[in-house]
Structure 1
Amino acid sequence: MTVQSDGPGGLEAVRRAGIETTGIEIVDESERTAKPSDLFWPWFAANVSVFGISYGSYLLWAGISWWQASLVAVVGITVSFIACGLVAIAGKRGSAPTMILSRAPFGVVGQKLPGVFSWIISIGWETFLAIMATLATATVFRELGWSSGTTTKVLAMAVIAALIVAASVAGYHVIIRFQSVLTWLTGLATIVYIALTLDQIDIDALTAMPNGSMQAVVGAFVMVMTAFGFGWINIAADWSRYQRRGTSGGRIVLWNTIGGALAPVVLVLYGIMLAGSRPDLQDGIANDPIGTLATILPTWFLVPFLVASVLALVSGAVLGIYSSGLTLLSLGVKIPRPAAAFVDGVILTLGTIYVVFVAQTFLAPFQSFLITLGVPIGAWAGIVIADIALRKHDYDEPALFDPKGRYGAVNWPAIATLVGASVVGWGLVVNAYPADVTWNNWQGYLLEPLNLAEWNSETLEWSGAWAFANLGVLFAFVIGFVVTLVVQRGRVRRQESV
């Protein structure tokens, strides 16, 4: 759809200011000029944050050895971004955001159910990144001997929130330019960080770490998938919708995977080595990841480290808030895209205020949040990827906005698959911090009946080999994928025969 001018003070003036006015409507063919390699910049910039190093500590907390953690990191991160790339194929087939394209398997109205989950997880991710940037600023200021109290946190939060909201309101073209610059800046800072802390690595300590159980390895693998590629999978097509229609799907998957996985693989591998060599860092990383990583740096590099780290976190949050705004529009909210991004920015700011100034820790609720929403998002991903595999032609774009079109209003079998896979998935995951996040202790209800784990209601503890393997995310994905391949084949064939 082409955006029409509505006067000097209207949409045309907004576009001249460099702000993207395209919302959830179909992108004009004339605007689809991006190359597959362009996908590298937003994905790399959003995932090159030094925060990735902290995941080395999280993996070792699972009770596995450094080589097991390394294998999990390489395979889990890569596979999760391949899944993102597969969803991104839909963008070049339909010229619309991910949650609009998801109307094909779920129906134009039925898509609102997974759309709500998608919106919540995007809001959660961007808020989490803003929180980390604020806390990191306060910690670095403290290390420099400067003020690091409430005033510093308030000012840091205000600047960070303003950067995130301003870039996301500006939209696609500004974000792409912004990310390409940040890629070089944050990449260089990360290389310097590794060079300055390389002397902290103790190979003997790493090789002495005992191997963990198979169940612990599976749990770590699921955590890595959920934290990286699966954390972005619900927005993967938002960036590929500007690709030329004839672009190879394989090239989209390739550049999406390289851009998303390259930096995290390197960072997590280094983080595993650092945490394994310095166990004393792990408690600090749990509450202030980037700030704790800064404590082992020489003073002269603290300011460059802070600037690069905060901008990297802002980069990731910008992608999240841009897409959460599009998801909000897909749910039926009738406001312009920039306004939707601003609304989500207000929510992000309020969430940051609560965690930074009220909550005592954010690791426990964040990990619980990841697993809880990771289950339905995993089921959704399985359904959507199977639907993409079944389709041989481009989407009927007008039908994506018409409940009476070929995709229908509600595809009840797809809804049932999503709900059923989520119910099974939630029954096979547990809250890793049951004493701290008591409101989420309802999960894991299938583990005891299947003799996979035991729950002690008095001590609020899970025990058993499979208790923390988080099998539910994998099961939800597999159920969604397999059921859709079998059940929806005829429906897709009938749609494409019209």
Structure 2
Amino acid sequence: MPPTSRTEPEQFVDTATRPETRGIELIGDDERHGRARDLFWVWAAPNVSVLNFTIGATMILLGLELWQALLVIVAGAVPWIFTGIVAISGPAAGTSGSVVTRALYGIIGNKIIVAFTGWLISAVFLALNWLASSFMGADLLAGMGLTDPVVVPIAVTVVVSAITVLVAVFGHGLILRIYPAVSIALIVIFLVVTAFILPHVDWSYRAPEPLSGAVLWSSVTIGFTILASTPLSYANSPDIARYLPRSTKPSHIIAATALGGALPCILFTAVGALLATGVDAAGMDAGIEAALLDLLPGWLGALLVLGVIVNTVSLNGMTTYTSSMALQAVGIPIRRIPSAVVVGVIGTALTIYLVMSTSLLDAVNLMLQFLVIVSGPAMAIFTTDIVQRRNRYDGVELFDQSRTSRFWYTGGWSVPGMTAVVAGGVVTALCLSTDVWTGPVSEAMGYIDLSVPAGMIVSAAIYGALSRTRLGSLPSDS
């Protein structure tokens, strides 16, 4: 089993020049370092992404006017606040968020939840982002005469995933060191691309069939669900913040994390919506990534593909890093570095399957909508627990997995946490509207999608109420 306390004989060093062997082990006060503002760049690098262009174009495909799409994009960035809030539990506990959530779900229950929220969601996002780089890399190589529709995308996937796993192996120290430079480089590339996109924007764009009433609200709410699913999936944010000193102000952690993710998402998702106004139906059918490359000069197209690959490595490197700790928290007897390799192999296999079976636009929209069934309730419960406990987590207690543990609850299960996440997931599914599944509540309301707010409100309310009873551990914290 991986060591779970800093009293273990192994010495851990958090540096950019050596692989990080620490996984979920506790971080002592003498090992804490960094500043909250460093988190801004750590979160900006993964979110200067071509997927933002894809999602922005989706807002127009949903039938929204340009101004409506821009408002939905801004609203969809608001859930980044939750990503920032859960991040503050990392420095408080000195360990991974996948261990902190033992306080929410119980020692055994947490293993089930982490298997979904900390690993399954991570694997899906690995595949989505590698899929983007695979398609765009294949489009670029096609211009050089490499046109095999199967071998080329798979080859790009394997190369990019190998680099990604290497970043995850070096871990937190490397991420903290290089992501600021990566963020700045990506922002410059994407701003130059934006400058070439703007002349093609139809500023007088009007939806072919203007929407109104329930149909309009259906498109608005579906768009919001797609957008909100990204920040709600980042319940791993404590993992990146956990090295910060305990004295770091929580408000600074929240602001740096939320703004680092939200600002690039708003800007470049808006650019994606603008781009869609100038692309005809045939271009959209070919894929927004291919349409984008067609608008750019060859040198900039190549630079953009390089930027997409760098962004993919930065996002998936961080995702692989945190999901490797999730595997440890589930109880699998594996060290962090081998765990990162396992996660990378699984994500690569899923990406190869998607490369051969779907388009980027279809894959992104469908997966992002379905993910909120798990991620929305889980994020609401985590946030509620932090507020109710006033962010007080004892790392040593969290590693006590015996039957006398404070977090053993009822046979290893937290009734408040498990009830809230299941009920919230059911409500989310009932209110969800996708191409392959429409919940009865959504259908009765004219396909309006209230899955995110409904699921989160129900989860937070149930957990908040039950955790204050004898079934929870909050009374001794109050």
Relative to structure 1, the CA distance from residue 206 to residue 313 in structure 2 (aligned partners, 3 Å threshold; closer, same or farther) is farther
Relative to structure 1, the CA distance from residue 141 to residue 83 in structure 2 (aligned partners, 3 Å threshold; closer, same or farther) is same
Paired residue secondary structure (2:109): coil
Per-residue CA deviation, residues 274-317 of structure 1 (Å, 9 max, x unaligned), is: 112324332233xxx43432121011222212111211122111
Q: Contact (CA 8 Å) 2:63, 2:207: kept in 1 or not?
A: no
Q: CA deviation at 1:180?
A: 1.9
User: Which residue number corresponds to residue 458 of structure 1?
Assistant: none
Relative to structure 1, the CA distance from residue 99 to residue 197 in structure 2 (aligned partners, 3 Å threshold; closer, same or farther) is same
- Matched ranges for 1:302-313 at <5 A: 302-313=301-312
Range 323-332 or range 300-309, more displaced: 300-309
Q: In 2, distance between residues paired with 1:155 and 1:428?
A: 40
Q: In 2, distance between residues paired with 1:330 and 1:155?
A: 32
User: Which residue number corresponds to residue 231 of structure 1?
Assistant: 233
Q: CA deviation at 1:44?
A: 0.1
Partner amino acid, structure 2, of 1:378: G
Paired residue secondary structure (1:205): coil
Relative to structure 1, the CA distance from residue 141 to residue 225 in structure 2 (aligned partners, 3 Å threshold; closer, same or farther) is same
Q: In 2, distance between residues paired with 1:205 and 1:95?
A: 51
User: Which residue number corresponds to residue 462 of structure 1?
Assistant: none
Q: TM-score, normalized by length of structure 1? A: 0.87
Per-residue CA deviation, residues 80-109 of structure 1 (Å, 9 max, x unaligned), is: 211100111111211111111111121122
Q: Contact (CA 8 Å) 2:128, 2:351: kept in 1 or not?
A: yes
Q: In 2, distance between residues paired with 1:209 and 1:256?
A: 39
Q: In 1, distance between residues paired with 2:358 and 2:269?
A: 26
User: Which residue number corresponds to residue 481 of structure 1?
Assistant: 460
Q: In 2, distance between residues paired with 1:394 and 1:44?
A: 28
Is 1:495–2:437 an aligned residue pair?
Answer: no
User: Which residue number corresponds to residue 219 of structure 2?
Assistant: 216
- Matched ranges for 1:241-256 at <5 A: 241-256=242-257
Partner amino acid, structure 2, of 1:229: P
Q: In 2, distance between residues paired with 1:340 and 1:326?
A: 8
Relative to structure 1, the CA distance from residue 146 to residue 471 in structure 2 (aligned partners, 3 Å threshold; closer, same or farther) is same
Paired residue secondary structure (2:423): helix
Q: In 2, distance between residues paired with 1:447 and 1:265?
A: 27
Q: In 1, distance between residues paired with 2:258 and 2:13?
A: 37
Partner amino acid, structure 2, of 1:444: G
Per-residue CA deviation, residues 199-246 of structure 1 (Å, 9 max, x unaligned), is: 1012122598835522321221122111x21132x2111111111111
Q: CA deviation at 1:273?
A: 1.4
Q: CA deviation at 1:125?
A: 0.2
User: Which residue number corresponds to residue 456 of structure 1?
Assistant: none
User: Which residue number corresponds to residue 420 of structure 1?
Assistant: 423
Is 1:361–2:359 an aligned residue pair?
Answer: yes
Range 415-424 or range 275-284, more displaced: 275-284
Per-residue CA deviation, residues 373-421 of structure 1 (Å, 9 max, x unaligned), is: 3112111111111111101352121221223222223211221121112
Is 1:331–2:330 an aligned residue pair?
Answer: yes
Q: In 1, distance between residues paired with 2:417 and 2:14?
A: 39
User: Which residue number corresponds to residue 6 of structure 2?
Assistant: 2
Relative to structure 1, the CA distance from residue 122 to residue 427 in structure 2 (aligned partners, 3 Å threshold; closer, same or farther) is same
Relative to structure 1, the CA distance from residue 133 to residue 365 in structure 2 (aligned partners, 3 Å threshold; closer, same or farther) is closer
- Matched ranges for 1:423-434 at <5 A: 423-432=426-435, 434=436
User: Which residue number corresponds to residue 397 of structure 1?
Assistant: 395
Range 488-497 or range 186-195, more displaced: 488-497
Q: In 1, distance between residues paired with 2:125 and 2:248?
A: 30
Query: How many residues get paired?
Result: 461
User: Which residue number corresponds to residue 110 of structure 1?
Assistant: 109
Q: In 1, distance between residues paired with 2:315 and 2:42?
A: 9
Per-residue CA deviation, residues 238-283 of structure 1 (Å, 9 max, x unaligned), is: 1111111111111111111111011111101111111123243322
Q: In 2, distance between residues paired with 1:341 and 1:5?
A: 23
- Matched ranges for 1:113-128 at <5 A: 113-118=112-117, 119-128=119-128
Range 359-368 or range 158-167, more displaced: 359-368
- Matched ranges for 1:138-157 at <5 A: 138-142=138-142, 144-149=143-148, 150-157=150-157
Relative to structure 1, the CA distance from residue 13 to residue 246 in structure 2 (aligned partners, 3 Å threshold; closer, same or farther) is closer
Q: In 2, distance between residues paired with 1:481 and 1:336?
A: 34
User: Which residue number corresponds to residue 284 of structure 2?
Assistant: 282
Relative to structure 1, the CA distance from residue 15 to residue 2 in structure 2 (aligned partners, 3 Å threshold; closer, same or farther) is farther
Range 13-22 or range 313-322, more displaced: 13-22
Q: In 1, distance between residues paired with 2:204 and 2:85?
A: 41
Q: CA RMSD in A?
A: 2.3
Q: CA deviation at 1:173?
A: 0.6
- Matched ranges for 1:61-100 at <5 A: 61-77=61-77, 79-100=78-99
Q: Contact (CA 8 Å) 1:206, 1:273: kept in 2 or not?
A: no
**What percentage of residue pairs aligned between the two structures are identical?**
25
- Matched ranges for 1:253-268 at <5 A: 253-268=254-269
User: Which residue number corresponds to residue 292 of structure 1?
Assistant: 291
Q: In 2, distance between residues paired with 1:13 and 1:486?
A: 42
Q: CA deviation at 1:137?
A: 0.5
Q: In 2, distance between residues paired with 1:341 and 1:105?
A: 25
Relative to structure 1, the CA distance from residue 128 to residue 398 in structure 2 (aligned partners, 3 Å threshold; closer, same or farther) is same
Q: Contact (CA 8 Å) 1:73, 1:265: kept in 2 or not?
A: yes
Q: In 2, distance between residues paired with 1:200 and 1:365?
A: 26
Q: In 2, distance between residues paired with 1:365 and 1:259?
A: 25
Match of 1:382 among 377, 380, 383: 380
Relative to structure 1, the CA distance from residue 52 to residue 13 in structure 2 (aligned partners, 3 Å threshold; closer, same or farther) is closer
Paired residue secondary structure (1:128): helix
Q: Contact (CA 8 Å) 2:17, 2:174: kept in 1 or not?
A: no
Range 273-282 or range 312-321, more displaced: 273-282
Paired residue secondary structure (2:46): helix
User: Which residue number corresponds to residue 54 of structure 2?
Assistant: 54
Q: In 1, distance between residues paired with 2:198 and 2:185?
A: 20
Q: Which runs of 5+ in 2 are unaligned?
A: none
Q: Which runs of 5+ in 1 are unaligned?
A: 435-440, 453-464
Deviation >6 Å, runs of 4+: 11-16
Relative to structure 1, the CA distance from residue 17 to residue 223 in structure 2 (aligned partners, 3 Å threshold; closer, same or farther) is closer
Relative to structure 1, the CA distance from residue 360 to residue 229 in structure 2 (aligned partners, 3 Å threshold; closer, same or farther) is closer
Q: In 2, distance between residues paired with 1:3 and 1:294?
A: 54
